[in-house]
Amino acid sequence: MAHMGIDPTSTSLKYAVLGAEPWTQEMRHELEVTMDIKACDIYGLSEVMGPGVAGEAVETQDGSHIWEDHFRPEIIDPFNPVPGKENVLGDGEHGELVFTSLTKEALPIIRYRTKDLTRLLPGTARPAHRRMGRITGRSDDMIILRGVNLFPSQIEEIALRIPELSPHFQLELTRPEGQRMDQLTVKIERRDNVTTEQSTTAARTLKEQIKIHVGSSCTVAVVEPGSLERSNGKLRRIYDLRPKG
């Protein structure tokens, strides 16, 4: 809209129901301020029924209420499996979301592992149904970098606190020849009208903040707006360029 010369706040839009990818509170804030709307989450999987398995109430915007009359949710620990046990976690505990369908006649599912990491919370605006906490990442998207667990959502959360940087980024994992340690490079677009000097300062800030909040060192490369590949489906954040085998 900005490139077309349209003021995003000039439309008649009041609410947005957004899904398909996990997003941070920082991303919600940017959308709401930029477009003068209320942005609400919606959750679903094509294997379950598509969008609408859970939805966020505009009154509270505090997580999506799961329609438990149709889907039974559970949280399991995906990283520390116990042989012979279900490994189910209690409400409020963080882990991988699992669904069993209760009313579907076509393609019913039993304890389907979504790979999405979240927790179950009491209902608020819809008290009869529990809520999903914010999805913090996917169990299969987790990077183990020098012994530290890292998710792309953590990088997005930190980057959006730095005004010079955009939400468009990629994570490249490499292992330089002759070295045993993996290297992480964060490629991230600068915002329009940000100078080279400002980009350099922003890159240094992002690198420092990742070290402080994630606990791992990385390289940050600030690139031109629009230069990173855009998604034509599921968003790809991680590019694993390490030697195979």
**pLDDT digits over 89-110, tens only?**
999 999 999 999 999 988 899 9
Domain boundaries, the chain: 8-137, 143-240
> To which CATH superfamily is domain 143-240 assigned?
ANL, C-terminal domain (3.30.300.30)
pLDDT of residue 244: 73
CA–CA distance, 199 with 217 (Å, rounded to integer): 19
In the chain, which residue ranges form alpha helices assigned H by DSSP?
Answer: 25-35, 152-159, 196-213
pLDDT of residue 45: 87
- Please, are residues 51 and 21 in contact by the beta-carbon 8 Å criterion? no
> To which CATH superfamily is domain 8-137 assigned?
ANL, N-terminal domain (3.40.50.12780)
Q: Nearest CA to 135 among 161, 155, 112, 115?
A: 115
CATH topology agreement for domains 8-137 and 143-240 = no
Q: Nearest CA to 139 among 125, 155, 147, 151?
A: 151
Q: Nearest CA to 207 among 229, 237, 187?
A: 187
Any idea which of 40-44, 122-126, 132-136, 185-189 has the lowest mean pLDDT? 132-136
Give percent of the chain above pLDDT 70: 96
Judged against a pLDDT cut of 80, whether residue 237 lies above it is answered with yes
Any idea which of 42-46, 141-145, 237-241 has the lowest mean pLDDT? 141-145
| Per-residue pLDDT band at 153 (split at 50, 70, 90) | confident
Spell out a b/e string for 172-185, using b for 16 or more CB atoms within 10 Å of the CB, else e.
bebeeeeeeebbbe
CA–CA distance, 129 with 186 (Å, rounded to integer): 39
